[in-house]
Structure 1
Amino acid sequence: MTLRRVVLPEAEDELTTAFVWYEAQRDGLGAEFFEAIEATMAQAVKDPLRWARVVRR
């Protein structure tokens, strides 16, 4: 089974807002946040049974 990562536009907007907020707290913190999100998403694609399944209707 081939899985693909889907990030909704609303989620992208929230991630961008969070990135900007973290960067304002400390230079480089936004990048650390984004790297953590990317790593988590990669784990979800690699081992999907660890995560809840979302089905579009």
Structure 2
Amino acid sequence: MEIQTLQDAVKELKVQIREMDGQRQALTERIAKTESSVKSAHKRIDDLQKEMMP
């Protein structure tokens, strides 16, 4: 009985780990997109500053 309880707990943990890995991967992708967007925004800001300076 105790071994079965441990096996069930391990199975549940494996499922949770898979879910967390999926969430981590999604966050990694979102961070990469955000970094790219920020880089692009900084470039546009720099270009605007150059245009405004005589």
Alignment TM class, shorter chain as reference: 0.3 to 0.5
Q: Which structure is richer in relative contact order (CA contacts within 8 A, separation 6 or more)?
A: 1
Q: Relative to total residues, which structure has the larger helix share, 1 or 2?
A: 2
- Calculate the TM-score normalised by the size of structure 2: 0.40
- Calculate the TM-score normalised by the size of structure 1: 0.38
Larger radius of gyration: 2
